[in-house]
Amino acid sequence: MEYNTELKRLILPEYGRNIQNMVDYCLTIEDKEERMRCANSIINIMGNMFPHLRDVNDFKHILWDHLAIMADFKLDIDYPYEIVKKEDLHSRPPRIPYNSGRIRYRHYGKTLERMILKANEFEEGQEKTYLIKLLANQMKKSFLNWNKEAVDDRKIFKDLDELSEGRIVLDEEQHKLTESKDILSRKNTNKNYTRKGR
CA distance 16 to 53: 17
CA distance 131 to 10: 58
For residue 51, the 8-state DSSP code is G
- For residue 115, the surrounding DSSP H or E stretch is helix 109-121
Q: Which of 5, 77, 2, 79 is nearest to 35 (CA)?
A: 77
Q: Is the pTM of this model over 0.75?
A: no
Q: Which of 84, 79, 94 is nearest to 40 (CA)?
A: 79
pLDDT for the residue 57: 82
For residue 81, the 8-state DSSP code is S
pLDDT for the residue 135: 92
Q: Write down the domain spans for the chain.
A: 8-88, 109-181
How does pLDDT run along the chain (198 residues), one tens digit per residue? 566 666 788 889 999 999 999 999 999 999 999 999 999 999 999 999 988 888 788 899 999 999 999 999 999 999 999 998 888 887 787 888 877 777 788 888 888 899 999 998 988 888 988 999 999 999 988 888 887 777 888 888 999 999 998 888 887 777 788 787 777 777 666 555 455 555
- Is the Cβ–Cβ distance between 151 and 143 less than 8 Å? yes
pLDDT for the residue 66: 94
- Is the Cβ–Cβ distance between 116 and 170 less than 8 Å? no
Region of 17 on the Ramachandran plot (φ > 0 left; ψ -120 to 50 alpha; else beta): alpha
pLDDT for the residue 28: 95
